[in-house]
Amino acid sequence: MATAKILTRYAYVTNQTYVGTSKLTTSAIDRFHNCSVAMASSKDEEWKNAKTIYEFTVKDLEGRDVKLDKYKGKVLIVVNVASKCGFTKPNYNDLNELYSMYHDQGLEILGFPCNQFGHQEPGCEVDIKEFVKKNNVKWDMFAKVDVNGDHAIPLYNWLKSKVEGMLFDAIKWNFTKFVINKEGLPVARYTPSTRPMEFKERIEAELKR
């Protein structure tokens, strides 16, 4: 168990390359191989033809495909999350509160763990599940992804192209929030420093439409 935990802690330091696994237990090695990021090739540009978020498929924490058309008619918050960021606690607290307040009215929150910013989401899916449970997260959490660069998943390439960021379109840090309306269209983008409760009125307005 101890070796497995140590391996998890360092698996992403060298881009998922780990030297000296000969002393690790079989379970630790298996866990290392499960430490993966759901990536896509930058050459895949079919996302440019997408009209709504419902045309995308992503991976859940078990590695299973999830078609986003399951969220048709819902208001969505899509957010790249990290467990070891200075923004983690306030964002998780607010997202949990918003979900509690508005889920019955049609709000869904989609969290995408990402380790691209300060290596602040270093763990595997097992670690993410433990963090989610510890923080009483009821909303949907998906597999770890890249949101920028050559291996950004198509969903994030599409989101960035639809709602411009300040100065440039790339995701700047953990906890960039997108609001998606009931028609599956991105209608707002909020910076990492903007707490989710600060745009509560926007969520309420979209739910009433």
Q: What is the pLDDT along the chain (209 residues), one digit of tens a residue?
A: 343 333 332 232 323 332 333 333 444 434 444 465 665 544 578 999 999 999 999 999 999 999 999 999 999 999 999 999 999 999 999 999 999 999 999 999 999 999 999 999 999 999 999 999 999 999 999 999 999 999 999 999 999 999 877 667 899 999 999 999 999 999 999 999 999 999 999 999 999 99
| Structure confidence at residue 85 (pLDDT) | 98
**75-81 and 65-67 beta bridge pairing:** unpaired
Q: What is the pLDDT, as a whole number, of residue 35? A: 60
Supply the residues annotated as catalytic: 85
Question: Looking at residue 202, what is its pLDDT?
Answer: 98
Predicted pLDDT at 26: 40
Can you list the domains of the chain with their CATH numbers? 1-35 (no CATH), 36-208 (3.40.30.10)
User: Do the Cβ atoms of 142 and 136 come closer than 8 Å?
Assistant: no
Torsion over CA: 86, 90, 95, 96 (sign): positive
pLDDT reported for residue 10: 28
Phi-psi category of 25—alpha, beta or left, where left has phi over 0 and alpha has psi -120 to 50? beta
pTM, full prediction:
0.81
- pLDDT, position 197: 99
pLDDT (0 to 100) of residue 139 = 99
CA separation, residue 126 to residues 31, 63, 107 (Å):
9, 12, 26
Please report the pLDDT score of residue 45 as a whole number: 82
- For residue 61, what pLDDT is reported? 96
Structure confidence at residue 43 (pLDDT): 53
